Structure 1
Amino acid sequence: MPSPGRTRRHAARFDRQEQGLSTFLTAWADDVPVGTAQVLWQGCAAPEVQARFPGCPELNGLRIWPPELRSRGIGTALIRAAEERVRAAGHPLIGLGVDDDNGRAAALYLRIGYRETGCRYLDRYAYLDDDGVRHEAVDPARFLVKELAGCAPGPM
């Protein structure tokens, strides 16, 4: 039986994409999905980020599974696919949030051209666990941006 939490999460992502608010990306190995990410076209929801980077699309929800497939270029390929879609839509910047306790992800983002902005915020979100129970979470995070080649530079 499918998890109510996962099913609802994917339904919400599908709804956002159908409304033109996001683009959902999936990485495949043969016919098996091994990673996902999405571009949120309206940007990061945090007011601190919106104030500094209005209109900057956000790469969000990058996940690779199973964990043993990490560090094989799948995440980088999803990031590049997101960047290309944002560039093609005429946006000069793409941004992403990284939790303070996710040093491995931060190192990847910095290595492929994202830069620190000094913009810190609390990433607030809710999720449903596998039993359908709602949980609230707050993670300290920082917002990184990358200027996209072929587009005019954005604000810093």
Structure 2
Amino acid sequence: MERTEIRPCRAEDVPLLDRHLPAPGAPARHADRFARQEAGTGTYLLAWRGGEPVGHGQVRWDGCAAPEVRAAVGDCPEFNGLDVRADLRGRGIGTALVRAAEELVRARGGTALGLGVAHANPRAAALYARLGYVPVTAYTDRWSRTDRDGRVHEEADPCAFLVRELSAD
């Protein structure tokens, strides 16, 4: 089994992400997440195998922006945008990214990590349940994206926000 390396994104990684893990309909996704990391409000974690990026997810240190979630969990750090290359799903890469995010939160003295999962994504929901995340509140994840032609699209997904209490071990 090939080893997976998890580490924070570096500036030189962004073009590789765009090439190996393109974001159709959201061409600046990787650059935006790296910019959040540079601003100190996030840590953009990347999974690597064989010198190529194969997955990613971001710890948002300021928590989820959805009002329903903030009312339920305050500014609990959120792990969002978890994605693994389709041909490598089910091989532990997503689990490794989530566990790395948990370690980052613990290292900063945090005691919980939250994440959202769309109702239309039962495979991710099963992964999070297996990792010990429990539903806290329902919410609608809203965001906008700008396509390559400069048109802005408003998006919304019904979701559940899940939280895992992190032990000190």
Asked whether 1:96 is paired with 2:115, we answer: yes
Structure 2 unaligned runs (5+)? 1-17
1:35-85 Cα deviation digits (max 9, x unpaired):
0000000101001111111120000000111x1100000000000000000
The alignment's TM-score, normalised by the length of structure 2, stands at 0.82
CA distance in 2 between partners of 1:62 and 1:132 (Å): 25
SS across alignment from 2:167: coil
CA distance in 1 between partners of 2:105 and 2:114 (Å): 10
CA distance in 1 between partners of 2:163 and 2:95 (Å): 15
When residues 132 and 64 of structure 1 are mapped into structure 2, their CA distance, relative to the original with a 3 A threshold, is farther
CA distance in 2 between partners of 1:129 and 1:7 (Å): 7
CA distance in 2 between partners of 1:137 and 1:72 (Å): 30
CA distance in 1 between partners of 2:157 and 2:76 (Å): 21
Structure 1 unaligned runs (5+)? 152-156
Aligned residues: 148
Give the structure 2 partner of residue 111 of structure 1.
130
Matches within 5 A, 1:23-34: 23-34=43-54
SS across alignment from 1:85: helix
The alignment's TM-score, normalised by the length of structure 1, stands at 0.88
CA-atom RMSD in angstroms: 1.8
- Bigger drift between 50-59 and 121-130 goes to 121-130
Percent identity of the aligned residues? 55
Q: Relative CO higher for 1 or 2, CA cutoff 8 Å, sep ≥ 6?
A: 1
CA contact 1:94–1:145 (8 Å) conserved in 2: yes
Give the structure 2 partner of residue 123 of structure 1.
141
SS across alignment from 1:49: helix
